[in-house]
Structure 1
Amino acid sequence: MSATGSASTGTGGDVRSSIWLVPILCGLAVGFDGYDLVVYGTVVPALLEYQAWGLSPEQVGVIGSYAIIGMLFGALIAGTVTDIIGRRKALLICVAWFSVFTAVCGIAPSPEIFGLFRFLAGLGLGGLIPIAAALTLEYAPAHRRNFTYLAMMACYNVGGLLAAGLAIVLIPAFGWRVMFFVALIPLFIVVPLGMKYLPESISFLLAKGRRSEAEAIGRRFGVPVQAVERTVEREEEVATRGGALEGVKTLLSRLYFLRSVAFWVASFFGLMLIYGLSNWLPGVMTEAGYSVGSALSFLVLFQGGAAVGNLIIGGLADRFGTKLVCGLAFTLAGLSIALLSIQMPLVAIYVFAGLAGVGTFGGMTLVYSYIGQYYPASSRATALGWSAGVGRLGAILGPILGGLLVGAGLAVPWGFYTFALAGVLAATIIFLLPRSPVAVEKAEWM
């Protein structure tokens, strides 16, 4: 029986035992999302040596961008699909979708088919995270909502860490194709668990007039249905007034336009860093003279630093301010990536790889948090959507740029310097942003 069905039959079940169920299941799904995206970076060195396909670095870079292009379309499609079938079904479909299409990459007979499968997998990868984030925030304990959200999103990097760790063991023994077969695991674990235990979104049920189901699930998970209902009513009111159009007007207004462009550029550079390094860090380190195993270990540390750093940086931002910590995080990323180009003891190189992960992912996470604080409530969703959309262009460019640098023989040191510059530019933009007009109005009013 589905979670929706079982929840609607009564109020049984201890709230304390249920309250973490949704974040855990969403975290599992997001973890495999992270695995399925980072897995491509782990096989880049092997693809370059795979004589049957004879791929150049430029071609490998372009193929690396296919999944990200798919993610762009997936994120756009997911919103419409979710409104029709609900968040629970949409999340499980996304997991099954990217699991299957990532797995079949392992049997692709040609680079063209391989690239097509990567694009198709990207549709599910891109659709999953917005759904998982919305479900987690809806069911998270009210007093720990931000921490729960950040912990759930840290699972993305844990999945990337898993991909890099498994690559060190599996690729030498079984070849690069086996890395894609591992992606079938969520199909047999996350999907069955989600079908049994994952509840439907309460806001979706209320919007569809299924109030009795919403109340039963709310009692089981300790979620006040009245609070969710007020949120749904506000969203409907904003939609009725043409809220999306008003949000665009705010972004493009004289007061916010340059600020909006600054956030778009920071998002562009931040996602270029994340996807460029996730795809090309092992390849660039191999060009720098490290063995394939050592090069993959840098990706392990990059993703591991991101998983731990997200939680640390989130706490620092709460204490010292989002703007300051976001700018410092990107600065840390830029300096650490630049230092990777210098010959130094291996332990030091490992440390800087980890710090690069801390700064890159921590800075990008805080960009979205900062946007959420910067704009008026009526424009925040639009501001986040536009920044994420422009940022995706950077995500597409990152793998292509890495391939061009490697193909031109410029990976060392210019590959490091190019991505380091992206981090420094993102930091500079954040530091130069003036105070939010919303914050200024509050300060003057107080």
Structure 2
Amino acid sequence: MPPDTSARNWVLPLCWAAVLLDGFDLVVLGTVLPVLLRDHVWGLTPGTASAISTVGLLGMMLGALAIGTVTDVIGRRKALILAVTAFSAFTALCALSPSAWVFGLLRFLAGLGLGGCLPTAITLVTEYARGGKSSSATTTIMTGYHVGAVLTALLGIAVIPGLGWRAMFVIGAAPALLLVPLMLKYLPESLSFQERAKAPASREVVSGLFSGGRLRATIAFWVASFMGLLLVYGLNTWLPEIMRQAGYPLGAALSLLLTLNVGAVVGLLVAGFVADRAGVRRSTIGWFVAAAVFLSLLSVRLPSFGLYVAVFLAGFFVFSAQVLVYAYIGRTYPAANRATGLGWAAGVGRIGAISGPLLGGALLTAGIAYPWGFYAFAVVGALGAVAITAGRAKATEPAHAGS
């Protein structure tokens, strides 16, 4: 059945906007925590702040596992609208938090919706991608994640001094007032879901990850997702401090973080293009290997220009290696449990997201983050390549809405 062209044209921008809000959440806590700690709000300590960050990531892990699975049962459209509505509502309520305990609880509840947003959006975009371009669709939608992160950092600079930290959560939730009605009116359900004779039970979609010869591939995707998100969160959290420990001034260290994320956006656009032409498995392995190489290179004292080039290329490969894992998953599992496969890989990956900052923090505490932090991150990248190589999953073009 041919798709309605006008409906399909709405899929990518609406899903991209949802993922942009996910990017907001990546940065917003780091934006407001310095203010909360400086002003002794709720008597917050660094330890309490770390706990709040961790419970938010835990919520995202559980949300990815739960909503990713529910998506294959109730449909992509309903699940995505539910996820966006939930995390926006709980994000807005964060502005009213009377205590650190309530703030942490609301961050956890918002994380449940956020965790389900990404795998559901990727599944829907993948299934509406034009023939042969599902990898490009996946990497394109993930640019929204980094755009959201950059915009939130800039928003914090502009908003917090005049309106305070609570305004950040109100502003972060406000786009849902426009996005959710647009989704209700224009976001279509995927044809592959509509064409099923009946919706499977949640137990069936989960067991399907391990049957039909997919056990090895499923484990490989979980390991690669863990390694990929460990790198993403570890570098975003600690790169400035590691470079400062290496003797670079703080201003230069922050500029390097910006360079890392600019490299990420460019890498995402290129990675999808390459994967659609060279094959997603080969490209994913190559991206992890290149990430390991350039992370190793950062352990060497380089002239200023060379350092910025190396950081740009590290961001270029590190961030899109993780997204190529998602693209690979989307072209490996059948439509009946594609969102479940993405959700579970993203959920396991969130454990890596928690581990990355912990690894960097431990190396900094030990005083060996430079250069050993980059060696450790390089090993993580190499393990991601090994996992994909060992998985030997067979990628096929997923069912989509047509070309």
User: After TM superposition, is the score higher than 0.5?
Assistant: yes
Aligned counterpart, 1:212? none
Equivalent of 1:187, from 170, 176, 181? 176
Q: Report if aligned partners of 2:70, 2:202 keep a CA contact under 8 Å in 1.
A: no
One-letter identity of the residue aligned with 1:276: G
Aligned counterpart, 2:186? 198
CA apart distance, 1:246: 5.3
Q: Report if aligned partners of 1:88, 1:201 keep a CA contact under 8 Å in 2.
A: yes
Equivalent of 2:207, from 234, 245, 252? 245
Equivalent of 2:236, from 278, 287, 297? 278
Aligned counterpart, 2:401? none
Aligned counterpart, 2:45? 55
CA apart distance, 1:149: 3.7
Q: Aligned to 1:248, what secondary structure does the other structure show?
A: coil
CA apart distance, 1:90: 3.8
Q: Distance in 2 between matches of 1:29 and 1:437?
A: 30
Q: Report if aligned partners of 1:45, 1:283 keep a CA contact under 8 Å in 2.
A: no
Q: Give the 5 Å matches for 1:394-405.
A: 394-405=352-363
Query: Greater RCO between the two (CA within 8 Å, min separation 6)?
Result: 2
- Matching of residue 156 in structure 1 with residue 145 in structure 2: yes
Q: Aligned to 2:187, what secondary structure does the other structure show?
A: coil
Q: Distance in 1 between matches of 2:10 and 2:202?
A: 34
Aligned counterpart, 2:256? 298
CA apart distance, 1:122: 0.6
Aligned counterpart, 1:350? 308
Normalising by structure 2, we get a TM-score of 0.78
CA apart distance, 1:157: 2.0
Q: Aligned to 1:273, what secondary structure does the other structure show?
A: helix
Aligned counterpart, 1:121? 110
- The structure-2 alpha-carbon separation of the partners of 1:275 and 1:262, relative to structure 1 and needing over 3 Å to count, comes to same
Equivalent of 1:65, from 54, 75, 90? 54
CA apart distance, 1:80: 6.6
Q: Distance in 1 between matches of 2:81 and 2:170?
A: 19
- Matching of residue 327 in structure 1 with residue 282 in structure 2: no
- The structure-2 alpha-carbon separation of the partners of 1:314 and 1:146, relative to structure 1 and needing over 3 Å to count, comes to closer
CA apart distance, 1:309: 1.0
Q: Give the 5 Å matches for 1:37-436.
A: 37-43=26-32, 53=43, 55-56=45-46, 59-79=48-68, 87-106=76-95, 108=97, 110-142=99-131, 144-167=133-156, 179-195=168-184, 197-201=185-189, 229-230=194-195, 232-233=196-197, 244-245=206-207, 247-250=209-212, 257=216, 260-285=218-243, 287-288=245-246, 294-371=252-329, 384=342, 386-431=344-389, 433=390, 435-436=392-393
Aligned counterpart, 1:33? 22
Q: Distance in 2 between matches of 1:71 and 1:181?
A: 20
Question: 1:6-50 deviations in whole A, cap 9, x for unaligned?
Answer: xxxxxxxx9655542221111111111112123334456666656
CA apart distance, 1:118: 1.9
Q: Report if aligned partners of 1:34, 1:157 keep a CA contact under 8 Å in 2.
A: yes
Aligned-pair Cα RMSD in Å:
4.0
Q: Distance in 2 between matches of 1:173 and 1:295?
A: 26
Please identify, of 328-337 and 400-409, the stretch whose mean Cα deviation from structure 2 is larger. 400-409
CA apart distance, 1:200: 4.3
- The structure-2 alpha-carbon separation of the partners of 1:297 and 1:165, relative to structure 1 and needing over 3 Å to count, comes to farther
One-letter identity of the residue aligned with 2:16: G
Q: Report if aligned partners of 2:205, 2:340 keep a CA contact under 8 Å in 1.
A: no
Q: Aligned to 2:175, what secondary structure does the other structure show?
A: helix
CA apart distance, 1:381: 6.6
Please identify, of 186-195 and 265-274, the stretch whose mean Cα deviation from structure 2 is larger. 186-195
Q: Report if aligned partners of 1:40, 1:279 keep a CA contact under 8 Å in 2.
A: no
CA apart distance, 1:277: 2.5
Q: Distance in 2 between matches of 1:34 and 1:377?
A: 26
Q: Distance in 2 between matches of 1:26 and 1:51?
A: 38
Larger-Rg structure? 1
CA apart distance, 1:427: 2.5
5+ long unaligned stretches in structure 1:
1-13, 204-226, 440-446
Normalising by structure 1, we get a TM-score of 0.72
- The structure-2 alpha-carbon separation of the partners of 1:413 and 1:146, relative to structure 1 and needing over 3 Å to count, comes to closer
One-letter identity of the residue aligned with 2:349: G
Q: Distance in 2 between matches of 1:287 and 1:118?
A: 31
Q: Aligned to 1:151, what secondary structure does the other structure show?
A: helix
CA apart distance, 1:199: 3.3
5+ long unaligned stretches in structure 2:
397-403
Q: Distance in 1 between matches of 2:285 and 2:51?
A: 30
Identity of aligned residues (%): 45
- The structure-2 alpha-carbon separation of the partners of 1:113 and 1:378, relative to structure 1 and needing over 3 Å to count, comes to closer
Q: Report if aligned partners of 1:60, 1:403 keep a CA contact under 8 Å in 2.
A: no
CA apart distance, 1:387: 3.6
Please identify, of 42-51 and 329-338, the stretch whose mean Cα deviation from structure 2 is larger. 42-51
Aligned counterpart, 2:400? none
Q: Aligned to 2:45, what secondary structure does the other structure show?
A: coil
Please identify, of 143-152 and 358-367, the stretch whose mean Cα deviation from structure 2 is larger. 143-152
- The structure-2 alpha-carbon separation of the partners of 1:391 and 1:198, relative to structure 1 and needing over 3 Å to count, comes to same
